[in-house]
Structure 1
């Protein structure tokens, strides 16, 4: 199916719950996106890519961005602090993706120090300029430009940021319901609800969603248009299909997809460690986590699960 037929803007205006795989550094790459799409994930994001490196380096483009015909709808997330570089990056990926997302939520120190990520929630004019530049430079009117943010302690500042972004033409906003300083504290779903009530564009809720029932509850509580999940999908890539824990068929699918797409061993093994967390004993984890080759992993899965 073409990217046009799987238009995320239309999906987010449908009134149905849109289930989204979050951008995850190292993890939300093509193989994992292929897997979660088999289990009712509607929309996938790439890992965060630094726009400046992506524009300036062919090597960075080749290593950071891979896709194929079935990988849609797809949003490419960029870390950026320069409107021109972001628009250049957007033009490069435009033929292969449905849109770009500006990371305004990453709280990591290196990102903040470079002027990327969550520090942008305090720079609404720069966010506005970046959105506007992409809009001006990318000719496709259905190519989306979205932002992913965290909230301020003073929610009026977040609402002001979102309104300015909406006025500039942002397609939707994803809200992680924590402040920059908060890591494991409870997510402020009420804040996401208030932001949604002040917007006329779609809003996606993000933060601590671990199964389909929680996704549906948070969708209803916040009144948003979709939910975005990160760690919950790492632990159970089939969660959007209603599975409470990773089914063996999903593990089988991951092995097939990862081997077919040439996934590096470390990534292949790490995903399996996440998926098998709840279905293996402590002793089994010690053995499995210490494996150091694809052949050893395949032998282990065959011996223990008949895969």
Structure 2
């Protein structure tokens, strides 16, 4: 059975302790169950899946297999969906209900492909549609199942506050607010004052997001805004032990990442394994070492390099969360068959159907990059380490 956690209680516990919930953000390609389990061993208290397209998840078994996997102890867990109609969002939420503690509606992704298809930040100009999406799920599932929304601040602070207040009336469990507008660059400063005003304006918990590189950054943002949670994205990729107070990735964390990979190499692609290590070792390897490490191409080569150059004598790390039994998810036919006749078509940014020009069975994860432009701004990443390395 899947362990369950009441998300309201999670925020209440933090508030009682005069603290905040430490959260790993939904990150395209990177918030897989292996990484979620890793960060939980270093102080992270709540994790999100990558953003999943609700319609594809309902329509296609490939999408469900590629986009979601979980274990018996993968909790507390929020599954984030991108949706632009109530039926898709509600049915996707019903499918995922037995395996998660809540769902989140992405209204903060500024990437061009998402905006083109009416997802992410495109929804911010359609508040009534957001309200309908939330109400549909709220009315369909248990009141203990968390329903949240992730947004960005708008240029007009009053509109931002009004949106949050209306979402509170719709029954959201909590809100996540990214401190940049949809038009801002990822390197721009976040609007701390706006986040503070949002936190004051609603009674539901508010999670602050943006620009978190260290535990001190998170503490500072919490003290400035009195938020109920702090979410880290690129900072926790670079250092999965961020919320433990470590200034860079501990070698125990690298070793544990290897351990999780070795438990079942069929459950993780080489691209995922290697890319995480590139991020994790950004502050550990020298520039010359990065030039070599970043171009390794096999599991064996990566592990050999780490074992040769990185391991130092240290005490064993006693981790609390293991990558234990994977669940075989059973998705009811009465829901999936309703959607199976639909096809998003090649005019859409992402399609798992046979009409697609992309190979969604690719084991190297290439289907992710086939529709996301590398230079497109991202709701999930505050920097592009790979572009930096590739340019020398």
Into which bin does the TM-score normalised by the smaller protein fall? over 0.9
After TM superposition, where is structure 1 displaced by more than 6 Å over at least 4 residues in a row? none
Contact 1:13 1:202 in 2 (8 A): no
Which residue of structure 2 aligns with residue 182 of structure 1? 184
Tell me the SS of whatever aligns to 1:13: helix
Structure 1 position 101 matched with structure 2 position 136: no
Which residue of structure 2 aligns with residue 10 of structure 1? 9
Tell me the SS of whatever aligns to 2:223: helix
Identify the match of residue 144 of structure 1 among 143, 146, 159: 146
Please list every run of 5 or more consecutive structure 2 residues that lacks an aligned counterpart in the other structure.
313-392
Structure 1 position 211 matched with structure 2 position 214: yes
Query: Within 5 A, what are the aligned runs for 1:236-255?
Result: 236-255=239-258
Distance 1:169 1:116 in 2: 21
Query: Within 5 A, what are the aligned runs for 1:68-79?
Result: 68-79=71-82
Which residue of structure 1 aligns with residue 283 of structure 2? 278
Contact 1:121 1:158 in 2 (8 A): no
The alignment of Structure 1 onto Structure 2 pairs a total of residues equal to 305
TM-score by length of 1: 0.97
Contact 2:242 2:248 in 1 (8 A): yes
Structure number with larger C-alpha Rg: 2
Distance 1:254 1:91 in 2: 32
Distance 1:3 1:73 in 2: 8
What is the alpha-carbon root mean square deviation over aligned residues?
1.2
Query: Within 5 A, what are the aligned runs for 1:33-112?
Result: 33-112=36-115
Which residue of structure 2 aligns with residue 28 of structure 1? 31
Tell me the SS of whatever aligns to 2:273: helix
Tell me the SS of whatever aligns to 2:230: strand
Identify the match of residue 266 of structure 1 among 259, 266, 271: 271
Deviation at 1:279, TM superposition (A): 1.1
Deviation at 1:84, TM superposition (A): 1.0
Structure 1 position 289 matched with structure 2 position 294: yes
Deviation at 1:77, TM superposition (A): 0.2
Higher relative contact order (CA 8 A, sep 6+): 2
Deviation at 1:2, TM superposition (A): 6.3
